Amino acid sequence: MIELDNRNALSAEFTELAEFILQTAQAKGASSAEVGLDKGTGLSVEVRMGAVDKLQYHRDQGASITVYFGHKSGNASSSDLSRRSLEDAVEAACRIARYTSEDEFNGLAAAELMAQDIPDLDLYHPWDLNAEQAIELALQAENTARDYDARIVNSDGASVDSYAGLGVYANSHGFSGVISNTHHSLSCAVVGKENDSMQRDYWYTLSCMPDGLEQAHHIGQRAAERTVRRLHGRSMSTREVPVLYVPELARGLVGHLVSALSGSAQYRKASFLLDAVGQPVFPDYVQLREEPHLPRTLGSRAYDAEGVATKARDVIRDGQVQGYFLGSYSARKLGLATTANAGGCSNLLLQDSGLDFDAMLQALGTGVLVTELIGSGINMITGDYSRGAAGFWVENGEIQYPLEEITVAGNLKDMFMGIRAIGNDIDQRGRVQTGSILIDRMTVAGE
Amino acid sequence: MMQESTLDYARHALLAPGGVTESDLDKVFAQLLTRDTTLADLYFQSARYESWGLEEGIIKNGSYRIEQGVGVRTVCGEQTGFAYSDEITTSALLESARAARAISRSGETGAVQAWQAQAASRYLYGMDDPLASLSEQDKIDLLKRIDSQARAASPYVQQVMANLVAVHETILIVDEQGRMTADVRPLVRCNVSVIVERNGQTESAMSGGGGRLDLGYFLQDERADFYAQEAVRQALVNLEAEAAPAGNMKVVLGSGWPGVLLHEAIGHGLEGDFNRKGTSAFSGRIGEQVAAKGITVVDDGTLEQRRGSLTVDDEGTETQCTTLIEDGVLKGYMMDRQNAALTNTQSTGNGRRQSYAHLPMPRMTNTYMEAGNYDPEEIIASVDKGVYAVNFSGGQVDITSGKFVFSASEAYMIEDGKLTHPIKNATLIGNGPDVLTKVSMVGNDPELDGGIGVCGKEGQSVPVGVGQPTLRVDGLTVGGTSAG
């Protein structure tokens, strides 16, 4: 079993340690302070070509301390949680705070925003699994993939990971919270070859609950299917066409929205969606919700990285932006209230338009189905978007042949406004949950 | 002299505080080694990081981090067992060793014959702590100077963000042969990014540099001023940029940082692990012509004070200059100890890891192409229609298919042999195994990058360097939006 030993005792110990750190900071003259303490344990096994490749045991811990002297701050972190080292870390943070500047927007989030009744989101589900069983599961996935097709000639391995962690966050408002969580995953990557064409692809499953994982043989099969179908990919002539993003890549498009609406991008004026609240950014049927309290869901959290209580909200309603992603610093900079997004977003759910993947292909008609993106190539200030891609050429809703060595380009503002449909083939593996996304027109460059 | 002191310093810093002695190490290896052990090592590390950030003209943040621990690894052929601890004590070492050895099926145990201090034949950087190389006030003043230099460079500058980072790392590697090797590594970096606005149009750019040096480096030769001015210059160029072309065309790559081409297109594909497994597009191609004649590419970990350099790698092997491609012919792969053992070759000193909590694997150091004969102007003048790309924001490669991308952050159109106008950021895509066969001209202006490269592989980041002379590539796909 991958589990934290004596979790209740650890929780009490960390809560006490956090209090010690806050008191130490106060004794050194800090007007306020905050601290995060984390500990995790994990097992990771990897098999390759039918044999164990790697067996790794993880054991991580750390403390991160921020002290404030009025509006000046300093941060220090340490992987050594002895009281002596933590005192040194507080001292280091105080030393740094002597040199940072007075910044009126700096400080803890307001005391009245601290989470009061912390709901149990049921995120801790350790896996009753030993190394042998983990190896067995990984082998099942890899064997299925290797047996799937004669063209699967090599493997990049299959792995099983299980992790359990506990984190305490406390600040000098008197807030102290404990979160325990687990996450587990199983992935498989194989290599297919035929004549001169060699391709690799993978598939994975991820959940905070062991029961939430897909079957090993299913992961192996998907990995093999995805690999084989890429063989003999070719480029295409340069043209403008509609583009369909599979769900796991569509997630990235929502990610770009989150970056553009983040508080830091807004106050730095480093976003292609400046002053966007109330503005239409998507067609009017697009709805995006932030749902931080979904039980047994990886992105859920009762409070953010500053202790602020999270709540469900609309981010996009009828295509219009309803709010940004703010922590207390960027909120004060913008003269707004924090949205409890210090540390990032929680679960984001993009409402689908009722079409399954086949119907999405029909809606694409003739164009490019993108199944892989490589490189960065995004200018968050202008929204200019240009990325390497692989996928399939589709005609009249039918997949014709694999594509590779192409780029897809456009501007995110046009791409968002040009969303024609959102599939109900929702990928639930990440904080952002979306189906496939169809964009009316992008420039695809090739040979 | 210095060799002694490095090892003594590391032992004192890493083993002494937890009271770990040589006889304790004997016990740990007795636990770790079995009859079928190919190699095993303990990697002790202590690292201190300090970072200062300026934004909106003020020092907004500063942070200090201390990390230490030990990674315990045992390798039996292709199989690796690994555990680590952030406590450096004998009991934690024994516990990690028990966990790591679970990989071996053999019940017998082995032992290390004798402990031998290993000394490097040369040292590529000093041992001094770069965090202490400038006073706090001088660090702050340096960042404020960058801010005022950037703002002085143009009235259109809206935001200046500057970061100063110093790292001091001490490592000690103890392996199954009884070898004890130490390294003390400084690393500094300065990054500047600016946002400019003119007539409602906004753009950004970044610049920076660093190496295995102290922070005084940024004060010499007006380097910090240069970073500030360079970031502003690039951002202003981008304000003028027109839509980038789309399609396959001739591309001239500038010298220095555009060497990220080599890193992505061929470097990763020549790492020993992928080739041992046969999953690289370059697998089994030693001796084949993979580049135009006259092209030589090396991975060189031995350059003094460079960001990607190491006196010894993270397995204690002295780094070297490894020829990857010579006169267009594929010569060799980059190896760590495990992959070398499995392919009956020698480690090339490319075994690197992000930290004690990560496993080593073959990684690049400084990867660059040697000079050719053409003047850069001559190369540009030879192109009727194409793109001249001089700065990049990064890249990525699919090792197996060989397809790679890199994203231009400063580029121009070439028309009738002349640079016409700047073009917007665009991603370039090509095929690693044949892109170098399309290099038709190599410049006489070899240059290394400024020292800000970070390479990611399997979730691990390590500092690297790249470099090249100006190159003409006859056919890369440019991912713009303009079909014209």
Tens-place pLDDT, residues A105-122: 999 999 999 999 899 999
With CB atoms and an 8 Å threshold, state whether B277 touches A156.
yes
With CB atoms and an 8 Å threshold, state whether B401 touches A270.
no
Is the pLDDT reported for residue B137 higher than 90?
yes
Of the residues A228, A251, A276, the one at which a domain ends = A228
With CB atoms and an 8 Å threshold, state whether A239 touches B483.
yes
Residue keyed to tokens 């340096």: B142
pLDDT category, B346, cuts 50, 70, 90? Answer: very high
* A109 lies in the same domain as A69: yes
Mutate to test the interface with A, among B359, B429, B435, B454 (most CBs of A within 10 A): B429
CB contact residues (below 8 A), chain B span 420-449, against chain A: 424-431
* A239 lies in the same domain as A203: no
With CB atoms and an 8 Å threshold, state whether B80 touches A200.
no
B99 → chain A, closest CA residue: A57
Q: How far apart are CA A400 and CA A423, in angstroms?
A: 21
Question: Does the beta carbon of B82 lie under 8 angstroms from any beta carbon of chain A?
Answer: yes
Bridge partners of B468?
Answer: B447
Closest Cβ–Cβ partner in A77, A103, A446 for B477: A446
With CB atoms and an 8 Å threshold, state whether A97 touches B63.
no
- A40, part of any domain: yes
- List CB contacts of B205: < 8 A, sequence separation 6 or more: B193, B194, B231, B232, B233, B234, B235, B237, B238, B391, B409, B410
Mutate to test the interface with A, among B34, B48, B61, B283 (most CBs of A within 10 A): B61
With CB atoms and an 8 Å threshold, state whether A80 touches B395.
no
- A256, part of any domain: yes
In B126-157, which positions are buried (b, 16+ CB within 10 angstroms) versus exposed (e)? Answer: ebeebbebbebeebbebbbbbbebbbebbebb
Residues of B in contact with A200 (CB under 8 A): 279, 398-401
SS (HEC) of chain B: CHHHHHHHHHHHHHCCCCCCCHHHHHHHHHHHCCCCCCEEEEEEEEEEEEEEEEECCEEEEEEEEEEEEEEEEEEECCEEEEEEECCCCHHHHHHHHHHHHHHCCCCCCCCCCCCEECCCCCCCCCCCCHHHCCCHHHHHHHHHHHHHHHHHHCCCEEEEEEEEEEEEEEEEEEECCCEEEEEEEEEEEEEEEEEEEECCEEEEEEEEEEECCCHHHHHHHHHHHHHHHHHHHHHHHHHCCECCEEEEEEEEECCCHHHHHHHHHHHHHHEHHHHHHCCCCCCCCCCCECCCCCCCEEEECCCCCCCCCCCECCCCCECCEEEEEECCEECCCECCHHHHHHCCCCCCCCEECCCCCCCCEECCCEEEECCCCECHHHHHHCCCEEEEEEEEEEEEECCCCCEEEEEEEEEEEEECCEEEEEECCEEEEEEHHHHHHHEEEEECCCEECCCCCEEEECCEEEECEEEECCEEEEEEEEECCECC
With CB atoms and an 8 Å threshold, state whether A405 touches B403.
yes
With CB atoms and an 8 Å threshold, state whether B86 touches A79.
yes
Is the pLDDT reported for residue B483 higher than 80?
no
With CB atoms and an 8 Å threshold, state whether A154 touches B279.
yes
Residues of B in contact with A444 (CB under 8 A): 246
Q: How far apart are CA A179 and CA B118, in angstroms?
A: 46
For residue B128, the model assigns a pLDDT of 94
Closest Cβ–Cβ partner in A85, A379, A445 for B480: A445
The fold of the B2-239 domain, in CATH, is PmbA/TldD fold (3.30.2290)
With CB atoms and an 8 Å threshold, state whether B425 touches A96.
no
Nearest CA-CA partner of A157 in B78, B459, B285? B78
- A2, part of any domain: no
Query: Running DSSP on this structure, what letter comes out for residue A57?
Result: E
* A292 lies in the same domain as A428: yes
Question: Does the beta carbon of B405 lie under 8 angstroms from any beta carbon of chain A?
Answer: yes
With CB atoms and an 8 Å threshold, state whether B204 touches A409.
no
One-character DSSP codes across A214-238: PPHHHHHHHHHHHHHTTTT-B----
Query: Running DSSP on this structure, what letter comes out for residue A430?
Result: S
Question: Does the beta carbon of B203 lie under 8 angstroms from any beta carbon of chain A?
Answer: yes
* A304 lies in the same domain as A172: no
Is the pLDDT reported for residue B54 higher than 90?
yes
Could you tell me the residue ranges of all domains in chain B? 2-239, 246-479
Mutate to test the interface with A, among B242, B358, B427 (most CBs of A within 10 A): B427
- A427, part of any domain: yes
* A108 lies in the same domain as A190: yes
Residues of B in contact with A156 (CB under 8 A): 277, 279, 400
- List CB contacts of B282: < 8 A, sequence separation 6 or more: B266, B269, B270, B274, B275, B290, B330, B402, B432, B433
With CB atoms and an 8 Å threshold, state whether A381 touches B63.
no
- For B225, how many CA atoms within 13 A lie in the half-sphere containing its CB? 7
Q: What mean pLDDT value characterizes chain B?
A: 95
> What are the φ and ψ backbone dihedral angles of B5, each rounded to 5 degrees?
-65, -35
For residue B2, the model assigns a pLDDT of 46
Query: How far does the CA of residue A293 sit from the closest CA of chain B (Å)?
Result: 29
* A11 lies in the same domain as A59: yes
- How many contacts, defined by CB atoms under 8 Å, are there between A and B? 251
* A251 lies in the same domain as A110: no
* A152 lies in the same domain as A66: yes
**Per-residue pLDDT reduced to its tens digit, B250-303:** 999 999 999 999 999 999 999 999 999 999 999 999 999 999 999 999 999 999
pLDDT category, B106, cuts 50, 70, 90? Answer: low
Residue B15 tokens, joined: 């083993």
* A153 lies in the same domain as A58: yes
Of the residues A175, A210, A228, the one at which a domain ends = A228
**Per-residue pLDDT reduced to its tens digit, A373-431:** 999 899 999 999 999 999 999 999 999 999 999 999 999 999 999 999 999 999 999 99
* A323 lies in the same domain as A442: yes
Query: How far does the CA of residue A55 sit from the closest CA of chain B (Å)?
Result: 5
Q: What mean pLDDT value characterizes chain A?
A: 97
The answer to whether the beta carbons of residues A439 and A402 sit under 8 Å apart is no
- A198, part of any domain: yes
**Per-residue pLDDT reduced to its tens digit, A107-160:** 999 999 999 989 999 999 999 999 999 999 999 999 999 999 999 999 999 999
Closest Cβ–Cβ partner in B393, B405, B424 for A374: B405
Please give the C-alpha separations between residue B9 and each of A84, B46, B118, B178, B182, in angstroms, as whole numbers: 22, 12, 14, 18, 9
* A361 lies in the same domain as A432: yes
Closest Cβ–Cβ partner in B64, B398, B400 for A96: B64
User: CA A119, A125, A130: angle at the middle one, nearest 5?
Assistant: 165
Residue keyed to tokens 């929680």: A346
Closest Cβ–Cβ partner in B78, B85, B396 for A51: B78
Q: What is the sign, positive or negative, of the torsion defined by CA atoms of A306, A309, A310, A315?
A: negative
- A1, part of any domain: no
* A267 lies in the same domain as A338: yes
Mutate to test the interface with B, among A45, A407, A444 (most CBs of B within 10 A): A407
Nearest CA-CA partner of B355 in B49, B128, B91? B49
Residue B315 tokens, joined: 């397995």
Query: How far does the CA of residue B477 sit from the closest CA of chain A (Å)?
Result: 6
Question: Does the beta carbon of B456 lie under 8 angstroms from any beta carbon of chain A?
Answer: no
With CB atoms and an 8 Å threshold, state whether A382 touches B481.
no
With CB atoms and an 8 Å threshold, state whether B407 touches A411.
no
- A258, part of any domain: yes
Residue B188 tokens, joined: 């500094």
Q: How far apart are CA B265 and CA B401, in angstroms?
A: 11
Residues of A in contact with B428 (CB under 8 A): 407
With CB atoms and an 8 Å threshold, state whether B102 touches A131.
yes
With CB atoms and an 8 Å threshold, state whether B401 touches A200.
yes
Question: Does the beta carbon of B347 lie under 8 angstroms from any beta carbon of chain A?
Answer: no
> What are the φ and ψ backbone dihedral angles of B137, each rounded to 5 degrees?
-60, -40
Of the residues A228, A246, A269, the one at which a domain ends = A228
Q: How far apart are CA B333 and CA B325, in angstroms?
A: 10
Residue A178 tokens, joined: 């404990």
**Per-residue pLDDT reduced to its tens digit, A340-368:** 999 999 999 999 999 999 999 999 999 99
pLDDT category, B460, cuts 50, 70, 90? Answer: very high
Question: Does the beta carbon of B398 lie under 8 angstroms from any beta carbon of chain A?
Answer: yes
Number of domains in chain A: 2
For residue B112, the model assigns a pLDDT of 84
The answer to whether the beta carbons of residues B172 and B14 sit under 8 Å apart is yes
Residue keyed to tokens 């992603």: A325
The answer to whether the beta carbons of residues B125 and B210 sit under 8 Å apart is no
Is the pLDDT reported for residue B1 higher than 50?
no
Mutate to test the interface with B, among A405, A415, A441 (most CBs of B within 10 A): A405
Domain that holds residue A113: 7-228
Q: How far apart are CA A65 and CA B35, in angstroms?
A: 46
Residues of A in contact with B159 (CB under 8 A): 268-270
* Residues listed for chain B: 484
For residue B107, the model assigns a pLDDT of 65
A61 → chain B, closest CA residue: B86
Question: Does the beta carbon of B471 lie under 8 angstroms from any beta carbon of chain A?
Answer: no
- For B346, how many CA atoms within 13 A lie in the half-sphere containing its CB? 7
Nearest CA-CA partner of A61 in A35, A85, A89, A41? A41
CB contact residues (below 8 A), chain B span 45-64, against chain A: 52, 55, 58-64
State the CB neighbour count (10 A cutoff) for residue B256. 21
pLDDT category, B484, cuts 50, 70, 90? Answer: low
Q: DSSP 3-state assignment of A178?
A: strand
